[in-house]
Amino acid sequence: MTMTDPIADLLTRVRNAQRAGHKRVDIPLSKQKLEITRKLADACFVEAFKIIDDGLQGTLRVYLKYTPEGKAVIRALRRVSKPGRRTYVGVADIPRVRGGMGIAILSTSRGILTGREARAAGVGGELLAVVH
């Protein structure tokens, strides 16, 4: 079965696992999904991640992060640019999510970057998702 939007699948799996209260979620591996997960981990939205080699495509295991009260750290995880309608932003139009409390994830000519990193590098790109 072919997947039309693997990034939306990643975000939906994380969102569903957090709503169900799971400690981890397994996702089919790709380079783009790995880099998006790395940005989420760097911004402390997920606890950790690891790559599980199954001899085929591989699996990305993401360990979800919760507050001491048991609430999910990620309050909203939204796909912005979709296959039917791509959304591109210039460096001046990169959104500041929740006044800096969230992150925007962009696909740029320099790879997957957060909004803050893209502004510092002076590049725009495709706005993949916003997280807060």
Q: Tell me the domains of the chain and their CATH numbers.
A: 6-64 (3.30.1370.30), 77-131 (3.30.1490.10)
pTM of the model: 0.95
Residue 84's pLDDT is 94
State the Cα–Cα distance between residues 119 and 101, nearest whole angstrom: 16
pLDDT of the chain, 132 residues: tens digit per residue: 567 999 999 999 999 999 999 999 999 999 999 999 999 999 999 999 999 998 899 999 999 999 999 999 999 999 999 999 999 999 999 999 999 899 999 999 999 999 999 999 999 999 999 999
Strand locations in 1-132 (E): 24-28, 46-52, 59-64, 77-79, 88-89, 103-108, 111-114, 125-131
Residue 1's pLDDT is 53
Residue 85's pLDDT is 97
